[in-house]
Structure 1
C-alpha cells in the first residue's frame, strides 16, 4: 500500500493564481464515508486510504495550494475571493483532488476558521453522487473525513468535517475574472490551462455546457442556491452544493438558502442567472475577442436563457425514483451530526446512488414530501 503520486498541473500552469498552503493538523481524523468505486477509478488503494497515513492524507497532511479567483457574489463584484477554506492537493489521471473545509489559507476571509462542519460535507457527498448517478455533470466526492474537532455554526458546536472533492478542473468563471483584473496575458494563460486555443472557443463551449447543465437541473427540481460566478465551472460540472435543495412542485419562486434573502437564485431564476454569469465571462475576455465575434456572442447569450427553457421542456431521461428529498436528507444529516448514527444516511445514500432501481431503498423514500418552508445553510 502506498501514497498516490499527484501532479500539480494547476500550480505549474498558473503559478500567479495559487498560494502554497501548509498542512493542517487535526486531532483524530476518521473516514466517515469513502467512495470506493471512485477511488478505484483514480487508482488509489482503498485499503491505504483507511490507514492512519491515508486518512491523514485525506485530511490534508501533505499540504497543497489554494487557488485565486474573483467573482460576482449575489451580483456584487469582488476582485479577489480565492479558496478560503479549500486546498488543492493536486491531480491524478486528469482529475483534480481538492479538500473543502481543511483550514485557513492565504485567501481566508477575516473571521473565517477555514474549517467545515460534518453536516454540509455529508450533504455535498450525497447530492453530488446522486447527480452523477442520474447523468448530470458534476464534481464528485471521494470521501468525507470527520476531523475529530468541533466548529461553531448556526446550530451551535458541531463536529468538524472535510469533503474530498474530485473535479475535471476547478477553473471557473471567477478564475477568468480574476485574471482579467491582472493582465490580458494571464487571461490567455487561463484559457490555455482550461484546454482551449482561443477565447471564442472557450466562450462558445462554456455557453453550451452551462446551458445544458442548468436545463438538466431544472428537469429534476434542483435549486443550486448560490450561483455566483465563482461557482460556475468552465468544465460545465456542478460545483459547490452548500445550500442546495430540491423542489418537487415545479415552484419557480422556490428559495431554500438562508443567505438568498432576495430570491436572486430562486429555482425559476436559474436560466436567466446562468445567462448573466456567461455574459460576465464574455466581459472578462472582451479585450481578447474580435469585436464582431464578441457582439455575436453577447447577442447569442441573451437570446439563448429561451433556448434553455426549451431544452428543459424537451423529453428528458427517466425520472429517478429516489431523490435526496429535503427533509429526509436533513433528518439523516441530523442523526449523523448530532448522535453519530450514520445508518439513515447510508440507507439514503444507497438509494439515491441507484435511483432508478426500486429495490435500492424502501418505498417511503420515493414519496414526494409536503411542500412548505425549508431552509438550508452554506456551512460556513
Structure 2
C-alpha cells in the first residue's frame, strides 16, 4: 500500500496565488464512502486510502509527504456584485497527482477548517452538503458531463453550528483544476498583469495546450462552457449559484452547493434558497454563462496586445460565439432526447413538447424517458394535447436507441437525497449506498431501483436547497 505521489505545479506560481495553511483536523474521523473506481482511475491505492494513513489524509489529520496544503486566492461576482477577495474559505488543495494516462488532477479537502480566506467563517461543512455533492457529481460523471468528482466522504466526528448543531463532514474533491473566472478577476482587479500572464500561461499549459494566445484561450473556454451548459439544460440541472468564482476555467461543473435537478418542469425553476430573484433559474443559465465569460474576457484584455480597442473587439467576438455553439449543442442533445437528428422539424417538436410539459408541470426526466416505452403520456394532464404532439412525433420516425442513450431513467431527486442524508446522520448508510449505486448506473432500469425513478409525491417535494456553509 502506498500514499499518493504528488506533483504540484500550482505552488510553483508566485506566492500571492495562494496561502499555505494546514487543515483543522477531525476529532474522530470515519470513512463513509470511498470511490474505488475513481481512485484506480487516478492511479491511487484504494487500500491505502481506506487504511489509517488514507483516512488521516482524507480527514485532514495528517497529510502525506509532498502535499501542498494551500488555499487558493480568487475574487468573484456573487449575484452580480463584485467581491474583490474570496478565496478558498473552507477548502484546501492537498496536492496534484498525475494519473496513469498522464492527466493532471487536483485533490482538495472541502470542509477542512478555516483558512486566511474564511472571512470569519468556521471553514467547516456539515455532512448533508458533503453527501449531496458526492451523489450529484458522481451522477453527472456517469452521464458524461464534465464535472469535479467525489473521491471520498468522511464524517469528522465533530459538530458544526448552523441553524442547529449538525455533524461535520469533509468531501475529498477531484478536479482537472480549481482555477476559476474569479481567479483571473482577483489579479485583474489589482492591476497585476504579471500574475495574469503567469496564470494564463499556466492554464494554457494545463488545460488548452493548443491555444497560442490569450484570445485563443478565451475562445476555447467559451466553447467549453457553451457545451457544458447545454448538457446541464438537457438534464434539467440547476446549478443554483453561478457566480464567477463558481465557473471553472477547465469547463467542469464545480461547487454544487444548492444544486438540484428538476422534478416537474418549469423553465424558470429555482431551488437555491439564496437565489431570491431567480438570477440563476434553469432558463437563465446560458445568459449567466455569457455574462460570466464577459468578465473573464475583460481580465484578458491587458494581455491581448497594445491596441486596446482591437483587443476589446476580438474578445467581444469570442464571447459572442457562445450562442451559436450553445444552440448547436442544445439542439443536438434535445433532438436526441426525442430520438431525432437535429433539424428544424426536431427543434419544433422539442419546443412544442417543452411547452406542453410546462403547461401541465410534467416531470422533466420521466416525460423524456417515457417516450421510449409509451409511458410519457401518463405525465401530462392534457392527454389530448400530448396525443396530437405524439402523432406528429411518431411521423418523424424516432430512433428508440438514440432516446435510450440520451435519457437517464433516474436522476438525483431532492427528496431521495434528503432521505439518504437523514439516514446517514442517524447512522444508516444503506440508503446513501443504494442511491450511489443507482445514480452511477443512470441508464439501467432495474426492478429493485424502480422507486428511485418515481417523481416525488406532493408531501415529498423538496423545493429549497442550501449551500451548507
TM-score, normalised to structure 1, is: 0.95
Structure-1 residue corresponding to 2:118: 108
After superposition, residues 174-185 of structure 1 pair within 5 angstroms as: 174-182=182-190, 183-185=192-194
Unaligned runs of 5+ in 2: 99-103, 205-210, 337-404
Q: Secondary structure at the match of 2:445?
A: coil
Structure-1 residue corresponding to 2:417: 329
Q: How far, CA to CA, are the matches of 2:159 and 2:198 in structure 1?
A: 40
Q: Which has the higher contact order (CA 8 A, sep 6+)?
A: 1
After superposition, residues 258-277 of structure 1 pair within 5 angstroms as: 258-277=273-292
Q: Pick closer, same or farther for the CA change 1:147–1:244 going to 2, 3 Å.
A: same
Pick the aligned partner of 1:132 from 133, 141, 160: 141
After superposition, residues 235-254 of structure 1 pair within 5 angstroms as: 235-254=250-269
Q: How far, CA to CA, are the matches of 2:328 and 2:278 in structure 1?
A: 23
Q: Pick closer, same or farther for the CA change 1:322–1:14 going to 2, 3 Å.
A: farther
Structure-2 residue corresponding to 1:71: 76
Q: How far, CA to CA, are the matches of 1:22 and 1:303 in structure 2?
A: 42
- Superposition deviation, residue 3 in structure 1: 1.7
Pick the aligned partner of 1:351 from 438, 458, 466: 438
Unaligned runs of 5+ in 1: none
Q: How far, CA to CA, are the matches of 2:122 and 2:434 in structure 1?
A: 32
Q: How far, CA to CA, are the matches of 2:444 and 2:145 in structure 1?
A: 18
Q: Pick closer, same or farther for the CA change 1:190–1:358 going to 2, 3 Å.
A: same
Q: How far, CA to CA, are the matches of 1:198 and 1:249 in structure 2?
A: 44
Are the aligned partners of 2:415 and 2:462 in contact in 1 as well (CA < 8 Å)? no
Higher Cα Rg, which structure: 2
Q: How far, CA to CA, are the matches of 1:3 and 1:16 in structure 2?
A: 29
- Superposition deviation, residue 207 in structure 1: 0.1
Structure 1 residue ranges (4+ consecutive) displaced by more than 6 angstroms after TM superposition:
none
TM-score, normalised to structure 2, is: 0.77
Q: How far, CA to CA, are the matches of 1:5 and 1:373 in structure 2?
A: 42
Q: Pick closer, same or farther for the CA change 1:187–1:343 going to 2, 3 Å.
A: same
Deviations 1:56-96 (A, max 9, x none): 11122227000000100010011110000100001001111
- Superposition deviation, residue 197 in structure 1: 4.1
- Superposition deviation, residue 251 in structure 1: 1.2
Q: How far, CA to CA, are the matches of 2:462 and 2:157 in structure 1?
A: 33
Structure-1 residue corresponding to 2:53: 53
- Superposition deviation, residue 369 in structure 1: 3.0
Deviations 1:209-239 (A, max 9, x none): 0010000000000000000000000000000
Kindly indicate whether residue 97 of structure 2 is the aligned counterpart of residue 87 of structure 1. Answer: no
Q: How far, CA to CA, are the matches of 1:303 and 1:199 in structure 2?
A: 16
Pick the aligned partner of 1:318 from 388, 392, 406: 406
- Superposition deviation, residue 365 in structure 1: 1.3
Structure-1 residue corresponding to 2:151: 142
Deviations 1:316-343 (A, max 9, x none): 4510011101111111111112x11111
Structure-1 residue corresponding to 2:40: 40
- Superposition deviation, residue 105 in structure 1: 0.5
Q: How far, CA to CA, are the matches of 1:312 and 1:209 in structure 2?
A: 13
Are the aligned partners of 2:25 and 2:113 in contact in 1 as well (CA < 8 Å)? no
Q: How far, CA to CA, are the matches of 1:373 and 1:97 in structure 2?
A: 31
Are the aligned partners of 2:215 and 2:304 in contact in 1 as well (CA < 8 Å)? yes
Structure with more helix by fraction: 2
Q: How far, CA to CA, are the matches of 1:14 and 1:350 in structure 2?
A: 42
- Superposition deviation, residue 367 in structure 1: 2.1
Are the aligned partners of 2:227 and 2:325 in contact in 1 as well (CA < 8 Å)? no
